[in-house]
Amino acid sequence: MRFQLTIFLLAASATLSTALPTWQAFQDWAKGFQGKIVPDHTSPRPSISCHPKSPYLPLPFPSPRNKICYVRSHNDGITDDSPYILEALHSCNKGGHVVFREGIRYFISTALDLTFLDHIDIDIQGYVLFSNDTTYWQANSFKFGFQNVTSFFKLGGNDVNIYGGGTLDGNGQAWYDLYAKDIYILRPVLIGIDGLHDSIISNLALRYSPQYYHFVANATNVVFDNINISGASTSANVAKNTDGWDTYRSSGIVIQNSYINNGDDCVAFKPNSTNMLVQNLFCNGSHGISVGSLGQYVGEYDIVENIYVFNASMHNTTDGARIKVWPDSPSELSGDLQGGGGSGMVNNITYDTMLIDNVDYAIEVDQCYGQSNPTICLQYPSSLTITDIVFKNFKGKTSKKYVPEIGTFACSSGTVCNNISAADIEVVSPSGSDLAYCLNVDEMALDVTCSSVYKGFN
């Protein structure tokens, strides 16, 4: 089945692929504002809609704001502006509009608890840089208690509207280099959300996060629109685990109309993510749009349910659409990522309309995540069920990595993994084949040529 990407994705590919400016280049540019008066103005609030697919919940409807607060700054990239930021947020909370002014640099070297926000617009026009004091942040960043996640700041509250076209810079290079020496360090995510409701985050550029760019926890009815993510390492040490979004214990999340150039999952639905819509994404260099990983922790019951992914353009990624579940046995993907033995369910997941361009696996269903030995995985099948999964309208070509295979449908047991379908799959490998590794699945429901050749889990 033929399909077209939206004009948005084509524009993103054409206009957002330029090289990122260095911090020194930004400093040189910003010198032009030193000693000058930067005019105060507010950005118009973006008009957000969901198209072509509709979300599970009505979109947030921000209330009017009746006060404006401009955030002061030392504007030197050295002195902590956190007190100024808190001053403005408290002053304009409950009905105000806070402005980070265009052309001004804001420097943050203190962990900020921003879970008090209520009925507020945060208009980020300037450049917000977090310090690279790795010792301070490891001791003081906010811990979420899941997969070693910590954050520079913790964002929460009700009716919070963030926009403005500015940039948040996680100053990640120091973290990429440190992680290469010690995989057990705690790397902050750039935007850590804990308890945010009926809110919209849009029109922002996110750069150089030490780990995930977003960790969305305990949130309901939050929309992310027109987010530009990028920030590779400038040294030989790769920027790892830089997921675009990870959702956790959240419902009613929308992620749309965004460009992601990163080094891990473009989007990952972690435990207890429900009723979510992802549409119109351009993902480059990622690990795909993933359900999971799930079943990592013994005694935990993980649920991912009612997820719709539409119109995703996947370029130079390890996966296009992916479902990853730990087996019911201890496994170690890496020294700082191990698990297995948890339970739960994945239900009603749809991946609809996906462009595959130099992707290792167009589709990967994997109930043996973290386990390199398939014999052990099959001896201890996952107790986490995978049901009612739809892949449809895929088109493109995979990379050479798994030639001649284009995907894998690897269930550890047919009793816990069923009703999986793949329709209108027009994806081929460089050899021209559409082979896929199939294990414990209904091959008649898959629009691929099933193969019993084992290419390896993960």
- Residues with a catalytic annotation lie at 287
Distance CA 226, CA 368 (A): 35
Q: What is the three-class DSSP state of 274? A: strand
Distance CA 5, CA 19 (A): 24
Please tell me the number of Cα atoms within 13 Å of 211 on its side-chain side.
23
Distance CA 105, CA 84 (A): 12
Given a contact cutoff of 8 angstroms between Cβ atoms, the answer to whether 235 and 176 are in contact is yes
Contacts of residue 11, defined as CB under 8 A and 6 or more positions apart, other chains included, come to none
What DSSP string runs through 110-149? S-EEEEEEEEEEEEE-SEEEE---HHHHHHHSEE-SSTT-
- Alpha-carbon torsion (70, 73, 77, 81), positive or negative: negative
Chain centroid to CA 225: how far?
13
Distance CA 196, CA 23 (A): 31
| Preceding amide of 91 cis, omega within 30 | no
Give the pair of three-digit tokens for residue 429.
Answer: 């490998």
- In this structure, the dihedral spanned by the alpha carbons of residues 425, 427, 431 and 434, taken in order and rounded to 10 degrees, is -20
Shortest CA distance to 343 belongs to which of 307, 388, 305, 297?
297
Shortest CA distance to 310 belongs to which of 50, 60, 58?
50
| Preceding amide of 52 cis, omega within 30 | yes
What residues are paired with 363 via a beta bridge? 321, 407
Q: How far is CA 412 from CA 110, 247, 353, in A?
A: 46, 25, 27
Q: How many CB atoms lie within 10 A of CB 182?
A: 8
Distance CA 455, CA 458 (A): 9
* Amino acid at the residue 192: G
Number of H helices, E strands in the chain: 6, 29
